[in-house]
Amino acid sequence: MASAVAEQMSESDELSCVVIPTDGESLLLPNVCVAEIVPWRRIKEMNDGPSWCLGFTGWRGLTIPVLHYQGFSDKNAQPPEARCLVVMNRARTRDSIPFYALAARSLPYMVQLVESDLSTSKEGLNTADVMKVELGNSLATIPDLAYIEEQVSALHQHSMG
C-alpha cells in the first residue's frame, strides 16, 4: 500500500485519497479503494467469528463482511459506534468476495496529497498497519490491505467450509 501511494505520487504531483474515521484512528487510502459509502445498516452477526468481523450485510445483491478495523489489533475491541459503511474494492479476488465494508465512525472525506504532505512513522504499528502518516496536525494510519484481504479470504473459506 505504501509503495502504491509512492508510485502514484511519482506519476503525478497529487494523489486523491480518502480519510476514513474509525474508532480510535483515521485510515488513509487512495480513493480508488472505495466502491461506495452507505448509511449504517443492519448487520447479521457471525457466530464464533474473529474480533475484526462484525458480521455480514447486504449490498447491491451481495452479502459482504463488515470489518471493525480495531479488532485486528485488539481482540477485546468493543463494537464501534459507526455511522456509515465504507464498501471497499478488493485488489485481490481469488475467492467470490470482491468487496468488504469498513465500519466508519463518521463520513469519510477526500484529501489531495502531495509528497511533502506525508511524514511517516513506524512507531505504534499494529497487525493490520503499514505505516502512520502525519496529515497536517493529525495522524492517520495506512492499513495493510494485503493482510486485511487475506483475512477476508480466510473468513470466506471458513464460512463456506
**Where are any strands of DSSP class E within the chain?**
15-22, 25-30, 34-39, 53-59, 62-67, 84-89, 99-104, 109-113, 119-121, 129-135, 138-143
pLDDT band of 92, cuts 50, 70, 90: low
**DSSP result, 103-150:** EESS--EEEEE-GGG-EEE-TT--TTEEEEEEETTEEEEEE-HHHHHH
> Reading across the β-sheet that carries 53-59, which strands appear in turn?
34-39, 84-89, 99-104, 62-67, 53-59
pLDDT of residue 23: 83
**Model pLDDT, residue 94:** 63
Average confidence (pLDDT) over 58-71: 93
Q: What is the pLDDT of residue 43?
A: 93
